Structure 1
Amino acid sequence: MNIELFLQRTELLHKRLADLSQTANILLWIPPELLPDAFKEIQSNLRNLHLAVDELYQQNEQLIETQNVLTVEREHYRDLFESAPDGYLITNAKGIVLQANIVASKLLNLSKPFMVGKAFINFIPLEERHHFRSFLNRLSESDKDRELVIRLLQRHGESFNATLTVAVVRNQQGKVISIRWLMRKISVTNKTELLVVNNNSNSLQNRYKYKYTKGENILLNPQEILYVCRGLVKLSTFCETGEEVLVGLAKAGMVFGSSLTSLNNYQAIALCDIDLVSIHVVEIAASSTLSYTLLPKIKERLQQTESFVAICGRRRVKERLHNFLQLLKQEIGEPVLDGTRLSVRFTHEDIASACCTTRVTITRLMGKFEKQGIISFNSTNQIILKDF
């Protein structure tokens, strides 16, 4: 019921009560001693009701005023959202577009009504969608804003490089309910835009870190180079017979990626728990500082690859194994009281693939080395190199 109408009816009831009081006074069959108390009680309740209605009316006016202010504020922020110089998207936790501003519509060459309800991944090139899914799935791990350099597809298939600044919104239970995306189109020739991406710093350690556990297969994107912050990554390929061949080891401070190899079958597996940083090739091309930072690391990977080639060129398997252990000592060796401990455990299959031989041969040679006192094993089966 409308509050004003309710107030009018209350006033009308008050008037009718006054008329009823006058009429009752002239009716002889009603005991006169009962009328004053009865009417006094009714009038008291009616006055209280009237006061409550007045208070309710005032509260309603305040609510209307507050609602008007909120409506104005909402329209103000809506205008800011629409007229922002960068593209803005709001999606649900699965990446389905809920809202988009004018710039986002222009960047993707699609009107806003057609964008709503579509999966954001539809605007990602096919070759980068696997990487984008992995990024989307990891958003719930932290509340920290994250940045991603990626190619985006417009409606008619044209693509452009963009930076995405991403923030998650959670409910009171901590569940992600929406994701906010800020899109900026970047140019290879515009270095100042990429400085924004790097937060005015080319420090690789300050970027968002992707975490992988031991034995996990690392997602490789041809448009990215991965920098190892912590841990060790096994790089391998497969020959025609399906046998795995170890072609490299990326330790902390080194880089790797499918863009750095011409091998068709190339995989990276975490040999322990690792932290990785992703660097898009567009960033490298646009930033000379970043290029100079990565050049020595790429050189280090190249030198290691040549060492692996030299090992495979040895005729005797024993020499290959000896040289491979020397290489491991150099790459991941840790000094201990009785020699040098290899910080990561390798299976005989891993060593065999690096030495181009069989697991049985490696097992036999490792047994000989142990008997000769060249190597030993600690309580966790880590190899300890002695006379190397």
Structure 2
Amino acid sequence: MNLDLFVRQIETMYGRLSELYQGASAPSVQMPQMLPGVFKELGTASEKLQLAAVELLQQNEELIDSKTLLEAERQRYLDLFEFAPDAYLVTDTEGIIQEANRAATVLLNIPQHYLIGKPLAVFVPEAERLHFRRELNLLKGRDRVLEWGIRLQPRNGEVFDAALTLGSVRNCEGQVVGLRVCVRDITERKRAEAALENNDYDPIDDRPVHTYARGEMIPLIPQTIWLVCEGLVKLSTLADNGEEVIVGFAGHSTPFGSSMTSLQVYQATALSEVQLVCIAIAELGISPRLAETLLPKINQRLRQTEILLAIAGQRRVKDRLSRLLLLLKQEIGQLEAGETRLSVRLTHEELAAACCTTRVTITRELNKLLQEGKIALDSDRHIILKNGAFS
């Protein structure tokens, strides 16, 4: 119901009640005859007011529901802004920061409440601030989203290459009242581009090294791949009965990651102390040299997978184990005095998982190979393959 109409109805009812009251107050011989009509009219008025009140209450509840939905939608967008992986800022037309998400506070190394009200220019190296302000004045009046490469310096931090994506914020009259700014650290991208000029390019160089101990699970990060610097990583899945099935080994300079498999269950475990570097899949798209370097290593992984499938297809466990030891000889073998020592100590359970059999069966087959003199064990329980036994 329209609020103005309701008010007019109330005023009309009030006026009619006043007339009835005045008529009832005046002495009249007709008063007894008037009372039934008065009560009837009062009853009708009361019903109308009750219906109007119910309708207004319903409209009020609908407004409350709409307000709740709008608030929830507003909170959802605030959460998207706050927890976005990239740094986002909202500034006024002069570049004074009005809003900042968590990623921005991490990137600029300053608490959120201190960041609000500061000019974005204070995070530009002092020698470049005049140029920054000049460019900002030129960019802020444009309608389309703009990309801008600059250098930024976080509080108490080192200068880094950044890419700014700017868009205008307009009011109802279409006037520019602020800027939306997305800030990305593109140091790695710049490094990859510079590496194109280097003939000795190695994707391991100039990247943070992550170390994992033997037996430790390695997190598989979406849209990234790991590259092994040192050590050996076991790649495995689970069969329907819950048993582990090894689907690959990643040794030196071998890539692996969730982006390289379609298996729903896929895990990576360090078989020794391993050192890894992380490479974003996006880098492969912008660095042909990086893609060219990793392609042969990915092909090597594919060939290894084919060999493991061929091993699993052997009917006799003896043949599976022999072929697995030959594969390990090629992957992690170290030549010592005409014999080959496997640089990583593998448990019987791990060998059984790679051969699709039981630990007891593998133990029996290894003992046979020991008795035949085809293998030996050193003091650290590393397997030594005798010369000519596996070729």
Using the size of structure 2 for normalisation, the TM-score is 0.53
CA distance in structure 2 between the aligned counterparts of 1:318 and 1:227, rounded to whole angstroms: 33
**Structure 1 residue 200 and structure 2 residue 194: aligned?**
yes
**CA offsets, 1:328-377, max 9 Å, x none?**
01111111126210000001000000100000000111111101111110
TM-fit CA distance, 1:269: 0.9
Per-residue deviation, 1:220? 0.9
**Residue 199 of structure 1: CA displacement?**
6.8
Give the direction of change, closer, same or farther, for the CA distance of 1:193–1:336 in structure 2 (3 Å limit): closer
In the aligned structure 2, how far is the partner of 1:316 from the partner of 1:198? Answer: 48
Structure 1 residue 195: deviation in Å? 4.9
* 2:163 partner letter: R
Q: What is the aligned residue count?
A: 235
C-alpha distance in 1 between matches for 2:385 and 2:88: 59
Letter in 2 for 1:369: L
Alignment of 1:21-36 (within 5 A): none
Equivalent residue letter for 2:379: S
> Which residue identity lines up with residue 105 of structure 1 in the other structure?
L
Q: How does 1:193-272 map to 2 (within 5 A)?
A: 195-198=189-192, 200-201=194-195, 202-208=201-207, 209-272=209-272
Q: Is the 8 A contact 2:245 2:354 kept in 1?
A: yes
Q: Pairwise mapping of residues 105-116 of structure 1 onto structure 2 (< 5 A)?
A: 105=89, 112-115=97-100
User: Structure 1 pair 162/210, CA: closer, same or farther in 2 (3 Å)?
Assistant: farther
Does the residue aligned with 2:89 lie in a helix, a strand or coil?
helix
Whether the aligned pair in 1 keeps the contact of 2:160 and 2:187 (CA below 8 Å) is: no
* Residue-by-residue CA offset, 1:292-340 (whole Å, 9 max, x unaligned): 1111010000000000000001011110001000110111111112621
Which residue of structure 2 lines up, in the alignment, with residue 65 of structure 1? none
Q: Is the 8 A contact 1:226 1:278 kept in 2?
A: yes
> Cα deviations across residues 254-281 of structure 1 (Å, max 9, x unaligned)?
1111111110110111111111111111
Residue 248 of structure 1: how far off its partner (Å): 0.5
1:119 aligns with 2:118: no
Residue 309 of structure 1 corresponds to which residue in structure 2? 309
Q: CA deviation at 1:203?
A: 2.6
Equivalent position of 1:184 in the other structure: 163
Q: Provide the secondary structure at the position in 2 that maps to 1:204.
A: coil
Q: Which runs of 5+ in 2 are unaligned?
A: 1-81, 108-146, 166-185, 196-200
- Partner Cα separation in structure 2 for residue 300 and residue 324 of structure 1: 16
Name the SS of the counterpart of 1:203 in structure 2.
coil
Spell out structure 1 runs of 4+ moving beyond 6 A.
Answer: 121-124, 165-170, 178-182
Tell me the secondary structure at the aligned position of residue 206 of structure 1: coil
| 1:338–1:313 Cα change, 3 Å | same
Q: Does 1:275 align with 2:280?
A: no
Who is 2:320 aligned against? Answer: 320
- Does residue 364 in structure 1 map to residue 347 in structure 2? no
C-alpha contact (below 8 Å) 2:90/2:98 kept by paired residues:
no
Q: Please say if residues 342 and 384 of structure 1, whose CA atoms lie closer than 8 Å, have aligned partners that are also in contact.
A: yes
Q: CA shift at 1:112, angstroms?
A: 3.9
The SS at the match of 1:376 is: strand
TM normalised by structure 1 equals 0.54
- AA partner of residue 242 (structure 2): G
Q: Which residue of 1 aligns with 2:67?
A: none
- Letter paired with 1:354: A
In structure 2, what is the equivalent of residue 380 of structure 1? Answer: 380
Q: Distance in 1 between matches of 2:104 and 2:287?
A: 27
Displacement of 1:231 in angstroms is: 1.1
Change (3 A) 1:198 1:288: closer
Q: Distance in 2 between matches of 1:216 and 1:180?
A: 35
Distance 1:269 1:182 in 2: 35
Alpha-carbon distance between aligned partners in 2 of 1:299 and 1:225, rounded to the nearest angstrom: 15
Contact kept in structure 1, 2:193 and 2:287, CA below 8 Å: no
Change (3 A) 1:292 1:336: same
Q: Distance in 2 between matches of 1:328 and 1:342?
A: 7
Structure 2 distance, partners of 1:317, 1:167, is: 61
The aligned amino acid for 1:286 is I
Q: Secondary structure at the match of 2:218?
A: coil
- Secondary structure class of the residue paired with 2:242: coil
Separation (CA, whole Å) in 1 of partners of 2:148 and 2:307: 38
Q: Is the 8 A contact 1:166 1:182 kept in 2?
A: yes
